[in-house]
Amino acid sequence: MTASTQITDSTEAAVTSSEQRNELIVVTGASTGMGAATAKELARRGFQVLAGVRRDIDADALRADGIEPHILDITVDADVAAIADRVERDPRPLRALINNAGIAINSPVETLPLAQWRRQFEVNLFGHIAITQALLPALLRSSGTVANISSVGGKVVLPTYGAYAGSKFALEAASDALRREVAALGVKVVVVEPGAVKTAMPERGIATAEELTATLSAAQLERYGRLNAAVTAQARSFIETGVPAEQAARVIARAATASRPRTRYTIGRDAAVLVRLSRVLPDRLLDRIVRRNLRSFADSAPRPQRQLSRH
């Protein structure tokens, strides 16, 4: 992917000329949502952003002054090697790597196909580790920052989110390990834990969850149908009340570029509250709170119907 097209804007001229963009930042998962908003926010702040996207159409939509889109699937070794080579060929220091790429597919532990478990860990954990390993030499030279975008789900697990939350719990653990390994070497590691954010990702997750629900056997539907419907209704309410992606992007940009960042940042009041509760409440009490909250959505959620039987 070639360098971004220059765009004339007199209000940004003081900070957006190519010559004045003295530092690089890599953002993965920048096709839409928080990733795209973060790429734009960082470009506005004067950084040259190497933005990882999945499709040419996403690259065309994102390309702008200060944003250089690259086709990047973090689970594909060749894509990871290509972005690392692009960074190595640039004389400018790598200020930060923002690991934002992620997927969410929810279904009960019993019914989520093992392939979907593996896929979520491949994207939400192993892909992040792969690109971090590839770019760490550049970050060591520049005393840069690794910003891992986790989730409130990395602290509090809702029913049917076992695979997604499991991958985020693991990302939090890997982040803690990395931070303690490279702090003395000058590299900073931060974790960002968003709550509900208004992006397309939850809607895609809901659609996939409903498709999976439709494949449950009659016995599984009896066990989990009402729960799945309640979780879906709750997810839709989160979308309506979530913070805008642009607001989330400002938090991510601050975390990735601070000279002395905190180890963790939350996005949204819901994330801040749930993270605090997870630290102090006993498991059984937290279970009751989650169950009571879901019950309020279950009362209004339509009963899911089985379309295909699986024996």
Catalytic residues, by residue number, are 164
Which residue's entry shows tokens 């895609």? 204
Q: What does the alpha-carbon distance between residue 284 and residue 290 come to, in Å, rounded to a whole number?
A: 10
What's the CA gap between 267 and 194, in Å, rounded? 4
CA atoms of 42 and 125, how far apart (whole Å): 24
User: Which value, to the nearest 10 degrees, does the dihedral of the CA atoms of residues 13, 14, 20, 24 take?
Assistant: -80
- Please report, as a single letter, which amino acid is at residue 174: A
Residue 190: count other Cβ atoms within 10 Å of its Cβ: 23
Other residues' Cβ atoms within 10 Å of the Cβ of residue 170: 18
Q: Which two tokens stand for residue 71?
A: 């086709």
CA 113 from centre of chain: 22
Angstrom distance (rounded) from CA 100 to CA 30: 8
Angstrom distances, CA of residue 264 to CA of 140, 149, 192, 270? 21, 10, 6, 15
| Residues paired with 49 in a beta bridge | 25, 67
Secondary structure of residue 188 in the 3-state scheme: strand
The dihedral region occupied by 186, where left means phi > 0, alpha psi between -120 and 50, and beta the remainder, is left
- Quote the tokens at residue 122: 């491949």
